């Protein structure tokens, strides 16, 4: 039971990290577009 819970936490962290990375990359792209226009 405990092992399953830990696995879910790890998966959630990985998903969260991926979402944060995507958010930061997206934000950087928006900044570049703003500078260029």
DSSP state, residue 1: -
Terminal alpha carbon distance of the chain:
54
pTM score, whole prediction = 0.46
- Residue 2 structure tokens: 């405990």
**Separation of alpha carbons 20 and 37, rounded Å:** 26
Mean pLDDT by runs of 10 across the 37 residues of the chain is 88 88 68 64
pLDDT value, residue 18:
86
């Amino acid at each position: 039971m405990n092992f399953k819970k830990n696995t879910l936490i790890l998966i959630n962290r990985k998903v969260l990290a991926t979402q944060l990375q995507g958010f930061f990359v997206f934000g950087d792209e928006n900044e570049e577009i703003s500078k260029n226009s």
